[in-house]
Amino acid sequence: MFWHQESETLARPALEALQLERLRETVRRLEGVPFYRRKFLESGLKPEEIKSAADVRRLPFTTAADLRENYPDGLLAVSREEVLRLHTSSGTTGKPKALFFSRRDVDNAAELIARALCMTGVTRRDVFQNMMSYGLFTGGLVMHYGAEKVGCMVIPAGPGTSERQLLLMQDFRTTVIHILPSYALYFADFLEKKGVDPRKSLALRKAFVGAEPHTEETRRNIEAALGIDVYNSYGLTEMNGPGVAFECEGKCGMHLWEDNFVLEIINPATGEPVEDGKTGELVLTSINRQAMPLLRYRTRDLTSIIPGPCACGRTHRRIHRITGRSDDMLIVRGVNIFPQQIERVLMAMPQIGRNYVIQLEGLDDMTVKVELSPAGFDGEVGHLTELQNQVAEKLRAEIWIRPKVELVASGSLPVAEGKAKRVIDKRSL
Amino acid sequence: MNTVKLVAVFAENRPGQAARVTGILARANINIRCITVASSGTFGVMKLLVNNPEAAGQALQHEGFAATLMDVIAVEMPDKPGALHSVADCLAAHDINLSNTSGFVANNRAILVIEVQDPAQAGDVLKEHGFHILTQEEALTV
């Protein structure tokens, strides 16, 4: 199903022509922003020199630090009266990043969400329970407006307690949810403990998960536990929030709306482009925003372009699920390691649980703590040491380092709530 | 063949873990006859001979512990020098490997609790050699 078939299936040459037109318009708009005007002067680049969408590479990068330095409104590209809404991205350190929306930006963000929901078969007959946090976080309101645009009945549940979520689902026959993947796993556990079989007592059909990187195994686990289809989604506050890239029914990579964003994948160390299919840092230029467009924003998210067209007919290229953040990357004994690699290994082993902690100590000692799942215990100490070795060996095959593996009791590691904190780095390097 | 059920529970090797396990069992009104702890680095397995293994296992699982029941054999032997040797010798002669072994003496009766790959076979062998193999009830009432 298409929300706007013409835009979604625009032939590549026409799509690239549209990108060029919008990119030029955006650069012209940004000449009014002191931060960018200074950057253009420094590089000697004139907007009219942009001859193709690929010339985006001649433009300067924008980083999270730039957003913080220009907080609160240094990057605003319209007058204050034209601003309709503000969202911020929580800064773990220091100031947050602020993003402004004009009326057209609010509407356009909803439009992109509507495309995304529609492409998985969501219709106005659906009941959409938004279990993401409302408020400054975009996952609540931006998604809400998109689901309303489709015509769904939207329940702005927010994250709330599982008891209340379940009550809403039962009483209003919720069919679609928007939820953090870690919370979806937790919620599935909750239903199991309550003895609620979602296949029998709930009307759920689909879940959109996002805001946290997660693995294919996590998706399958949620699908199996809740008996629904789970679609991955990608977005970031700096680019409207959710709705940048979503999966179609093929569940094979996320279509990134290229009529709204110019997409690049670069080597985070050198800034040079990497070829299709190779993993690098996603860099996005918002070319259809009024209030606060950003040029070549360094997302820090690692992904790759999936080469080739998609069976669904959409011409907007697909990106692979996010495999990590360039700033999540651990360097241990000179090897680059992403926590998601470790997660992938652990999720494939039924004898151990879902939660894990990576601990780095001393010079470069790596310990992975995993929970023994009660089903994996037969009373034999020998089998447990064997299991530890097995986990260590599988991890070595994935990350090229053999960590120390420590089995801990089920439920003793912190449960992933919100953005999971998995790495404890106490190295004395 | 008479076998005896032990409760095995996984616990991290740090202070307070044994207290948590025994606290749960005390609240469930479980009496412990015999306990062993085998630790391996950061974790250990506690094995307990108790009056109600099913209830003990459930109480521990309910509190989030990984717990399971295991079949072992409890053999009675004379409380005198060389008695343990005669049991070990008998098993060795039949190529039976002892994994975990513990014992206790109560009312002048010495009871050896042994874990083997095949409890039924080991029990038969010992019985043939005149050893008394205890039932669960006997093991709890000696």
Residues B75 and B134 in one domain: yes
CB B42 to CB A408 under 8 A?
Answer: yes
| Beta pairing class for A254-256 and B4-12 | unpaired
CB A373 to CB B38 under 8 A?
Answer: no
Which residues, 6+ apart, have CB-to-CB distance to A14 below 8 Å? none
- Which of A51-65, A140-154, A402-416 bottoms out in mean pLDDT, i.e. has the lowest? A402-416
pLDDT grade for A90, boundaries at 50, 70 and 90? low
**Bridge partners, A246 (sequence order):** A233, A255
Residues B54 and B95 in one domain: no
Residues A228 and A253 in one domain: yes
Closest CA–CA distance from residue A253 to any residue of chain B (Å) = 38
Point out the domain boundary residue: A292, A327, A362.
Answer: A327
Which residues, 6+ apart, have CB-to-CB distance to A392 below 8 Å? A368, A402, A403, A404, A405
Name the amino acid, one letter, at A202: L
Point out the domain boundary residue: A327, A358, A393.
Answer: A327
Q: Is the pLDDT of residue A92 over 60?
A: no
- Which of A70-74, A205-209, A372-376 bottoms out in mean pLDDT, i.e. has the lowest? A372-376
Instruction: Tell me the mean pLDDT in the region A14-37.
Output: 95
Chain A contact for B65 (CB, 8 A cutoff): yes
Cα separation, B43 vs A385, whole angstroms = 9
User: In the numeric block, which tokens belong to residue A331?
Assistant: 């360097």
Q: Is the pLDDT of residue A418 over 50?
A: no
Residues B76 and B134 in one domain: yes
pLDDT grade for A416, boundaries at 50, 70 and 90? low
Which residues, 6+ apart, have CB-to-CB distance to A420 below 8 Å? A182, A212
Residues B43 and B55 in one domain: yes
Q: What is the DSSP letter of A91?
A: -
- Burial class for A32, CB neighbours closer than 10 Å (0-12, 13-18, 19+): exposed
- Tell me the pLDDT tens digit for each residue of A160-198: 789 999 999 999 999 999 999 989 998 999 999 999 999
| pLDDT score, position B78 | 86
Output the domain CATH number for residue A250.
3.40.50.12780
- The minimal CB distance from A379 to the residues B40, B43, B47 is found for B47
Q: Which one of A369, A381, A404 makes the best mutation probe of the B interface by having the most chain B beta carbons within 10 Å?
A: A381
Point out the domain boundary residue: A327, A350, A375.
Answer: A327
Chain A contact for B64 (CB, 8 A cutoff): yes
CB A384 to CB B70 under 8 A?
Answer: no
Point out the domain boundary residue: B70, B88, B110.
Answer: B70
Closest CA–CA distance from residue B19 to any residue of chain A (Å) = 15
Cα separation, A344 vs A340, whole angstroms = 6
Chain B contact for A352 (CB, 8 A cutoff): no
Residues B50 and B82 in one domain: no
Q: Is the pLDDT of residue A326 over 50?
A: yes
% chain A with pLDDT above 90: 71
Residues B75 and B65 in one domain: no
Cα separation, A415 vs B3, whole angstroms = 40
Q: How many CB pairs under 8 A join A and B?
A: 59
**Bridge partners, A232 (sequence order):** A209
pLDDT, mean over chain A: 91
Residues A268 and A386 in one domain: no
Domain count for chain A, please give it: 2
Instruction: Tell me the mean pLDDT in the region A364-376.
Output: 89
Residues A199 and A231 in one domain: yes
| pLDDT score, position A118 | 97
**Bridge partners, A256 (sequence order):** A245
Domain membership of residue A376 as a residue range: 330-425
Domain count for chain B, please give it: 2
- The minimal CB distance from A409 to the residues B66, B69, B100 is found for B66
Residues A421 and A294 in one domain: no
Q: What is the pLDDT along chain B (142 residues), one digit of tens a residue?
A: 789 999 999 999 989 999 999 999 999 999 998 899 988 889 999 999 999 999 999 999 999 899 999 999 999 988 888 888 999 999 999 999 888 888 888 888 899 999 998 998 999 999 999 999 999 888 888 7
CB A377 to CB B68 under 8 A?
Answer: yes
Chain B contact for A44 (CB, 8 A cutoff): no
Chain A contact for B12 (CB, 8 A cutoff): yes
Domain membership of residue B36 as a residue range: 4-70
Residues in chain B within 8 Å Cβ distance of A378: 8, 68, 70
CB B12 to CB A377 under 8 A?
Answer: no
pLDDT grade for A420, boundaries at 50, 70 and 90? low
Q: What angle do CA B17, B20, B24 make, to 5 degrees?
A: 150
Output the domain CATH number for residue B136.
3.30.2130.10
